[in-house]
Amino acid sequence: MRFFHLPDLKSPHTVFLLILVLSLCIVGTSAERALASQGEDELTAKLVEGAKKEGQLQWYFSMTVPEADTLAKKFQEKYPFIKVGLYRANSERLLPRIVAEDQAKKYVFDVLSAPAMTGEFLKRKNLIAKYLSPQGKYYPQTFKDPEGYWIASFFLVNILTYNTRLVPRKDVPKTYEDLLDPKWKGKMVMDTGAFDWFAGIFKIMGEEKGMQFMKRLSEQNIQFRSGRTLVTQMVAAGERSIATPVYNQRVEWLKADGAPIDWVPLEPIVSEVNPPVISAHAPHGNAARLFVDFLLSKEGQETIASFYRLPTREDVEARVPRAKCKGLKILPFDSSIGDNYGKYIKLYREVLMKK
């Protein structure tokens, strides 16, 4: 890249030309921004006009109800003419519900917020619609679907959590292999639906080593419970010493409340993204798009960050910056895992859970 230096300006004429060029560049940039802003305002105005006629939207989600309720209320403060219906379930239950509704031609949900692999499955079934939100300019490509179906509203890193009263810091597992130590037998709890993490481990280790690792891990007499919030709470209560994979935002929340709990990353870290996607048969399509825009707006992202979750928007920082695991090896979301996702779900249950 070449830079201008003052010694290069040898005549008043050159200085005048330089000032003229810079002025035109500034005016051009300002004009482009004004046009972009005008285009965004026009799009929002059209969505608002349509949403006023619709008057409502139905949101399916896998985050906690208090979090979703907070976001819905903030959205309704902005658009009081839209009533937001809430339905919460984990991704294990959301997916079959949506598929069943489609088979029955009973289209209920407008927006779904769930792990991206759920969205990937629905995309392959033509059950979600493309939407290029004007908020997209604030997001890196890492958090965007390359085909334009979604932008992630937050991301998650799978970490290990431990009870600080039961496990001295020096004994905390530092690698995946450390989980196989006999001292953790009967002291570990896991989520029944950690399928993305399971698939990620195979991506990291390869099929053969990944299978060997999972078979040995299954011998640790692991207790399984549904939901990572519950799993994390069990560790905080001292019912189990460690848990993995869990999400660090729930650990940070409990730490802030004084719980004896902390977390460490196991590298490479398996990450996940959670995007809002719009139903291909959305009964309230305009309201759905307004809601997605809100979740991706700075206000929406700051609200998401207040839950200790990790916002994906470039101009919004995490409440606990350490939680983003900057500088560590992170395996990004890989949609190709969807090619064999059914296989990984089956293996998780058969090999790890022994069901």
The verdict on 239 and 346 lying in the same domain is yes
**Number of independent structural domains in the chain:** 2
Question: In this structure, is residue 346 part of a structural domain?
Answer: yes
- Percent of the chain at pLDDT > 90 equals 84
Average pLDDT, the chain: 90
Residues 249 and 116 placed together within one structural domain of the fold: no
pLDDT digits (tens, 9 = 90+) for 249-289: 999 999 999 999 999 999 999 999 999 999 999 999 999 99
Within-domain flag for 184:
yes
**Tens of pLDDT, residues 28-67:** 434 334 434 557 899 999 999 999 999 999 999 999 999 9
Q: Which H, E and C letters describe 25-86, residue by residue?
A: HHHHHHHHHHHHHHHHHHHHHHHHHHHHHHCEEEEEECCCHHHHHHHHHHHHHHCCCCEEEE
Q: Are residues 78 and 149 in the same domain?
A: yes
Residue 188 falls within a domain, yes or no?
yes
Asked if 81 and 54 sit in the same domain, the reply is yes
Residues 52 and 147 in one domain: yes
Separation of alpha carbons 86 and 280, rounded Å: 19
Residues 167 and 139 in one domain: no
pTM of the entire predicted model: 0.83
Q: Are residues 319 and 232 part of one domain?
A: no
At 150, which CATH number?
Answer: 3.40.190.10
* Dihedral angle of Cα 175, 176, 180, 184, to the nearest 10 degrees: 70
**Cα–Cα dist 229/232, whole Å:** 5
Q: In this predicted model, what pLDDT tens digit does every residue of 316-341 receive, in sequence order? A: 999 999 999 999 999 988 888 888 88
The CA distances from residue 104 to 170, 182, 227, 236, in Å, are 55, 50, 28, 43
Look at residues 315, 316, 52 and name the one whose alpha carbon lies nearest to residue 307. 316
Same domain, 57 and 117: yes
Would you say 160 and 173 are in contact if contact means Cβ atoms under 8 Å apart? Answer: yes
pLDDT band of 10, cuts 50, 70, 90 = very low
| Together in a domain, 97 and 200 | no
pLDDT in tens, 228-243: 999 999 999 999 999 9
Q: For residue 168, how far is the Cα from the chain centroid?
A: 31
Is 279 in contact with 109 (CB distance < 8 Å)? yes
Note whether 187 and 260 are same-domain residues.
Answer: yes
* Domain with 288 in it: 44-155+272-323
Establish if 38 belongs to a structural domain: no
SS3 218: helix
6 part of a folded domain: no
